[in-house]
Amino acid sequence: MKFVVDGDKNQYTDFIKSHPKGHILQSLEWAQVKEENWRSMHVMVEDEGRIRASMLLLLRPLPLVGKYMIYSPRGPVCDMCDFETLKFLVENVKKLAKKHGAIMLKIDPDISIKDREAVNNLKKLGFIQNLEALNFEAIQPRFVFRLDITPSLDELLARFHHKTRYNIRLAQKKGVRVRLGSREDLKEFHRIMEITGIRDGFVVRSLEYFERMYDCLKPKGFMELALAEYDRKVIAGIICLFFGQKCWYLYGASSNEHRNVMPNYLLQWEMIKLAKERGCTLYDFRGVSGDLNPENPLYGLYRFKKGFSGEFTEFVGEYDLVFSPLWYTIFQKGVPVFRDLRRKLTLVLKKAKMKL
């Protein structure tokens, strides 16, 4: 087997597009989205002229210490039960990581918690589970709903919860209109996203970030922005990513006005239809909480996505390969505190700004 660093880009892209574990977050275009704060490398394992495994590696410097963390979102892309190939990949990535002064390699692979062989292989290679995240503590969601969209539209609609079907038809009856948006529409989407963030207590990325996403992904057909309009106003929006035969619902936003006309239900339905038109077989609703207690503030999001009758999927979560135990301990203790303080401060400032 041969380990290739920053090899043929088309070969790399074709591999992850066609692989069952391929993911948009492993694409070179996603690396471009993140390049403001992360530099990237892509690696492949070749064997007898064909690729057997690949990984996108994102490197980020840690403040003040001159060290790096390496993160491979939803990587690696390979058969995680093929231990020899996985071992060859990880051992070579480990050498590369140490060469760049990394304290750790973090992965959150597209592996179901039920796949015990894959989990055991990671442990045999020295990976440790980072945390048992039930809500959204991790970088990527651990719990998602995934919908097989190979059945006909009529069959899909019939499988939805009756309340979901009712809300889709209510939006249509009330005159909600869904259209695909342009780059210029990102400004309005971001404005509504800010309203959503303040209402639900999460920090929203900058408009510049969404514009960079659009510039990197849209020309390749990997991103679509859809907007729901009512009474000539944009009242909700959604961003979906497309790659290979998969579609991911990445961001959603809704204003505080006209929520009773159920625009979010119609947006999801229209994007499911678009995904089918583009040959997708899977629609991923992305994150929900793993705490299914109705008292959980996130239960409403779970109920909304569950109504589309996708499969509730739990991934294995984050696994870390540690190269520097001391710096890793400092990182583990310091980062959550910093993120929580930053989130609280940002929300306070945005709420104050909204009142002005």
**Residues 127-144: tens digit of each pLDDT:** 999 866 677 767 899 999
Distance CA 347, CA 203 (A): 7
173 with 92, same domain? no
pLDDT band at 79 (very low <50, low <70, confident <90, very high): very high
Q: Are residues 11 and 107 in the same domain?
A: yes
What is the pLDDT, as a whole number, of residue 349?
A: 56
User: Which residue, of 280, 296, 325, is where some domain finishes?
Assistant: 280
- Any domain includes 141: no
At residue 15 the predicted structure's pLDDT band, cuts being 50, 70 and 90, is: very high
The beta-strand segments (E) located in the chain are: 2-5, 39-47, 50-61, 68-72, 77-78, 102-107, 128-129, 143-148, 177-180, 223-230, 233-243, 246-254, 282-287, 311-314, 319-322
Identify whether residues 155 and 95 lie together within a single domain: no
Boundary (domain end) residue, out of 258, 280, 302:
280
Residue 140 domain flag: no
**Domain-located, residue 303:** no
122 in the same domain as 158 = no
Dump pLDDT digits (tens) for 211-230: 999 999 999 999 999 999 99
292 inside domain: no
Average pLDDT, the chain: 92
**The predicted structure's pLDDT at residue 67:** 82
Question: Do 168 and 83 belong to one domain?
Answer: no
Domain count, the chain: 2
Whether residues 22 and 55 share a domain: the answer is yes
Report yes or no on 305 lying in a domain. no
Last residue of a domain, one of 235, 256, 280: 280
> Are 131 and 155 members of one domain?
no
The CATH code of the domain that includes 162 is 3.40.630.30
User: Is the pLDDT at 152 greater than 60, yes or no?
Assistant: yes
Q: Span 272-296, mean pLDDT?
A: 94
Note whether 252 and 210 are same-domain residues: yes
What pLDDT shows up at residue 132? 64
Residue-range definition of the domain harbouring residue 213: 150-280
